[in-house]
Structures are given as C-alpha cells and as structure tokens.
Amino acid sequence: MSDTTIKETVREKYGAAAREAQKGNQANCGGGSCGCGSGPDPVTADLYHQSETAGLPEGAVLASLGCGNPTALAELRLGETVLDLGSGGGIDVLLSARRVGPTGKAYGLDMTDDMLALARENQRKAGVSNVEFLKGEIENVPLPDNSVDVIISNCVINLSSDKRKTLKEAFRVLKPGGRFAVSDVVCRGEIPAPVRRSMELWVGCVAGALEENEYRALLAEAGFKDVGVEPTRIYQFEDARAILEGVGLDAEVLAREVTGRVMGAFVRARKPASGG
Ligand SMILES: C[S@@+](CC[C@H](N)C(=O)[O-])C[C@H]1O[C@@H](n2cnc3c(N)ncnc32)[C@H](O)[C@@H]1O
C-alpha cells in the first residue's frame, strides 16, 4: 500500500466523519473500529468522563474517534506547550488548553481539511484563544525543533504510513526533557496477514497498529528514554468480531486469532534533558 494511497484514504474517510459531526451526528470513519455494527464502538466508546466533556462544544464530542484519553494520563502543567498529532475535531486539544491555562498553548495538527474546519469551529464555540490548529502531516511537523513540552495523540500514529519518521519528528519538536504521552492501538504478537491487508481496517485503526516491542524499539531508535506501554483497554473476542464485521473478512475465524492481542494503550516516553 503506497504512502499516497494510505493518506488519500485516510483523508477521504476522516473528511466524511468530520462532515457527519458538523451535521450533529456521531462521527464514524466507515471502517472497522469506527461505526461497526449496531452496539457501541469497542474502541471509541466511553473514553471520556462526563465531567471532561461538559462544557465542550457538541461537535468536538461527536467527532471523537480516539482509542484512549491521553490528557487524563499525561502530566500537563500550567504554561506548557502541547501538540496533538492528528487532532481531528479537537477534543484533546481543547482539554489540553484547559490544563495548560492561558499562559500555555495547545496546538492541533491534522492533514484533513474538513477536520480542521470542524476543529476551528469547535475552538470558536469554546471561546479559547490559547489554541491553534495547524494543517500538516505528522510525518513532517510544521513546528521548529525543541518547541513543545508535551506531545499527545489519540489513535493516529497507527494510521501513519511512516511511523519511524513520525516518531523522529515527535522527538525533534520536543524540548529537551519533553514528554511523549500518546494513546494508540498496539498489538501483542503477530496479527494475521488478512487483517493487516485490509484497507478498511487500516482506516479503522487496527491494521496499522504497531507491535508493542516494535513500538518500543522505534521510540528508542528516535532517541527517547523511559519508554512505557500500558494497556488501557484490551479488546476481547466480541470486540474483535465487531471490529472485523462487515469488511469482508472471516470475522469468526479472525476474531479468534486477534482476541486479546489488540489493545488501546497509553505509550509514554521522554526526550533526554541533554539530548537534542
Ligand atoms: C482516528 S482519528 C482521531 C482524531 C482525534 N485524535 C480524536 O481522538 O478524536 C485520526 C485523525 O488523524 C488524522 N490523520 C491521520 N493520519 C494523519 C497524518 N499522517 N498526518 C496528519 N493527520 C493525520 C485524520 O485526518 C483524523 O483527523
């Protein structure tokens, strides 16, 4: 699958998801983990406490397509600069902006125009000025070296066609001592080839997921220290079947193979204080 094909598909699917949220509907990306079947989505449902979503624009909540709650797990301090890789409708950027306060800044970075339009509308509705949404790719972050205190992201790095480059870029823009605090879908062990091959599942956040040890290795290769991968939600057989349903795969057989081996995880790491 070429880099261009992945990016085009991602833009198309998440553009459609943003337009749904603009219309007041719950966003889904039409792929595996998003909007699968009838019940609640096993990956994206119930990620935020009501106390967190209270006061956020409805469009930001409806567009939530993450697999974790990185701002709840990340350490964010007043006055810090945060960057959200693949910010979508902006839910985690708006939550970060609250935490870093008016002396801090929260950037969102996304490559999909409709998502950026939705996020900027959500910012306007939230009435916050310490937020900026940037257009660009997480593989080429449009920010200078050593400019960010904390990198967050929610279910996006698994979609990247060049994860090595993405993690190197995260390292570059972090200040020395800066923190990487990301929710992502991660696998334990090998995932069956048919799942990996499915474009729909890629867009649905599963097929592009890194294997846990590979994730650790790529972070270390980029220069990060103190790498940790903590499962926040391990998808079980029924979850996996729901994810596979409707994408032309033998859901029953594959679900048995992937059960318990795909998880929403919180991935943390640190750029050394002296490294640059
Ligand atoms: C699964 S959604 C998650 C959105 C948001 N983080 C959330 O929690 O709701 C993925 C988002 O990442 C964006 N995205 C995917 N790949 C990207 C890339 N390579 N560069 C920039 N944005 C990307 C998509 O446009 C989409 O808005």
Q: Residue whose CA is closest, atom 13 of ligand 1? A: 86
Amino acid residing at 124 = R
Cβ–Cβ under 8 Å, residues 56 and 80: no
Identify the pLDDT of residue 5. 86
190 CA from centroid of ligand 1 (Å): 24
Identify the pLDDT of residue 203. 67
Encoded tokens for 153: 């992201």
Q: Does 17 have pLDDT greater than 70?
A: yes
Identify the pLDDT of residue 142. 98
Rounded distance between C-alpha atoms, residue 134 and residue 146, angstroms: 17
Q: Does 90 have pLDDT greater than 60?
A: yes
The more confidently predicted of residues 199 and 37 is: 199
Q: How confident is the model at residue 29 (pLDDT cuts 50, 70, 90)?
A: low
Cβ–Cβ under 8 Å, residues 243 and 204: yes
Identify the pLDDT of residue 32. 42
Dihedral over alpha carbons 209, 215, 221, 224 (to 10 degrees) = 120
Q: What is the mean pLDDT of residues 64-70?
A: 95
Rounded distance between C-alpha atoms, residue 200 and residue 229, angstroms: 26
Query: What is the average pLDDT score of the chain?
Result: 90
Q: Which protein residues touch ligand 1 with a CB less than 6 Å away? A: 10, 14, 63-66, 86-89, 91-92, 110-112, 115, 137-139, 154-156, 159-160, 205
82 CA from centroid of ligand 1 (Å): 16
188 CA from centroid of ligand 1 (Å): 23
pTM of the model: 0.94
Q: What is the mean pLDDT of residues 233-253?
A: 80
pLDDT digits (tens, 9 = 90+) for 146-199: 999 999 999 999 999 999 999 999 999 999 999 999 999 999 988 888 877 776
Q: Does 28 have pLDDT greater than 80?
A: no
Identify the pLDDT of residue 250. 80
Rounded distance between C-alpha atoms, residue 20 and residue 23, angstroms: 5
Q: How confident is the model at residue 46 (pLDDT cuts 50, 70, 90)?
A: confident
